[in-house]
């Protein structure tokens, strides 16, 4: 029983870590622009595809399944997605900055569908599932009855490092301070000399880079990748961001972990696995009924 529990715990944490990485992007963009970037989950998918195409050439230079190959592929994919995220903001959202939020929201859904359907085109990625290359040598670590995949451990450790790095950037650097200032009041930030467009761009870049990493981690655990692979984890991560308190970074991380654990535990219970989403979401609704602003969110009370 305890083995089963530990096993689910590790699985749940690894899955939750991935949700957390995606949720950070949703919540950061919400923080500066107050809207949900529905195309975020597709950027995650693009991260997985970038890694899919980059792995063979990089492995050719640095060796199959080597740590260096993995590192270079992850960094390059993150950089590519950062550029894609900033481009989406520049082309699709920036011209609508002064328009009602709903306009931007619908545009975001449009961008998302555009990426998904373009990706499915046979001349692009194609709709069929592709098997994701092995980035790292994966080993099963057996402790008693416990089977842990080394990939899960890597995902957990790297996510923890990334979360800490994000916290540092937002709380301890000048650009992070500007992000928080823009999030509170864009005009006041501009009056301090902050280039608001630059900060918004940076926020999209950062969120998209994290999404790319999440996409790769997700692909490492999934049977394969396809242009619609972002939808499911994207939805979960969005809910994780709301659960944690939208706009709140530690909240997004916590929400992701909670969601990953719920999903894994209920999915792993015999007889309950078919209901796992139902149960997970019912719990979510309950939490939000009692804490409408999310686990760590504060209800906005603006002092004028």
Partner 1 sequence: MLEVRDLHVNYGAISALHGISLDVKQGEIVTLIGANGAGKSTTLRAISGLVKPRAGVINFDGQNIAGVAPHVIVGRGLAQSPEGRMVFANLSVLENLRMGAYRRKDTANFAKDFDYVFSIFPRLKEREQQTAGTLSGGEQQMLAIGRALMSKPKCLMLDEPSLGIAPILVQTIFEKIVEINRELGLTILLVEQNANLALEVSHRGYVLETGRITLSDTAEALRGNPEVQECYLGGE
Which residues of this chain interact with partner 1, rule CB under 8 A? Answer: 174, 177-178, 180-181, 183-185, 187-196, 302-304
Which residue number, 194 or 212, has a Cβ lying nearer to partner 1? 194
Pick between residue 2 and residue 103 the one whose CB is nearest to partner 1. Answer: 103
Task: Look at residues 256, 240, 278, 300 and name the one whose alpha carbon lies nearest to residue 162.
Answer: 256
At its nearest, how many Å lie between partner 1 and the CB of residue 90?
16
Q: How far is the CB of 211 from partner 1 (least distance, A)?
A: 25
Burial class (CB in 10 A: 0-12, 13-18, 19+), 274: exposed
Q: At what angle do helices 2-33 and 249-268 cross, to 10 degrees?
A: 150
What is the closest distance, in whole angstroms, from the C-beta atom of residue 302 to partner 1 in the complex? Answer: 8
Nearer to partner 1, 62 or 177 (CB): 177
Query: Whole-number minimum distance, CB 301 to partner 1, in Å?
Result: 9
Smaller CB separation from partner 1, 162 or 181: 181
Nearer to partner 1, 191 or 289 (CB): 191
Identity of the residue, 24 or 78, whose beta carbon is nearer to partner 1 in the bound complex: 24
Q: What is the CA radius of gyration of the chain?
A: 19
Here the tokens at position 196 are: 């608001």
**What is the smallest separation between the CB atom of 243 and partner 1, expressed in angstroms?**
21
Q: How far is CA 223 from the centre of its chain?
A: 19
In angstroms, what is the minimal distance from the CB of 178 to partner 1?
A: 7
Q: Which residues pair with 130 in a beta bridge?
A: 225
């Amino acid at each position: 029983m305890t083995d089963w529990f530990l096993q689910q715990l590790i699985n749940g944490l690894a899955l939750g870590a991935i949700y957390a990485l995606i949720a950070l992007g949703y919540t950061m963009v919400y923080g500066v622009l107050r809207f949900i970037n529905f195309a975020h989950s597709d950027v995650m998918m693009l991260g997985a595809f970038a890694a899919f195409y980059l792995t063979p050439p990089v492995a050719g230079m640095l060796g199959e399944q080597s740590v260096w190959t993995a590192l270079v592929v992850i960094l390059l994919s993150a950089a590519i997605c950062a550029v894609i995220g900033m481009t989406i903001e520049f082309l699709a959202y920036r011209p609508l900055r002064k328009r009602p939020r709903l306009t931007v929201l619908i545009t975001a859904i449009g961008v998302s569908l555009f990426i998904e359907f373009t990706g499915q085109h046979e001349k692009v990625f194609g709709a069929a599932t592709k098997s994701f290359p092995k980035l790292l040598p994966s080993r099963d670590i057996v402790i008693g009855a416990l089977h842990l995949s080394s990939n899960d451990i890597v995902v957990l450790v790297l996510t923890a490092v990334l979360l800490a790095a994000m916290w540092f950037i937002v709380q301890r650097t000048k650009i992070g301070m500007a992000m928080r200032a823009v999030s509170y009041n864009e005009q006041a930030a501009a009056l301090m000399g902050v280039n608001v467009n630059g900060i918004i761009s940076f926020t999209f870049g950062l969120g998209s880079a994290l999404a790319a990493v999440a996409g790769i981690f997700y692909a490492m655990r999934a049977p394969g990748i396809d242009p619609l692979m972002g939808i499911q984890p994207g939805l979960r991560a969005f809910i994780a961001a709301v659960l944690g308190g939208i706009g709140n970074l530690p909240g997004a991380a916590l929400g992701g972990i909670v969601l990953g654990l719920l999903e894994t535990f209920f999915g792993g219970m015999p007889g309950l696995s078919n209901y796992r989403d139902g149960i997970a979401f019912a719990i979510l609704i309950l939490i939000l009924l009692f804490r409408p602003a999310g686990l760590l969110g504060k209800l906005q009370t603006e002092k004028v």
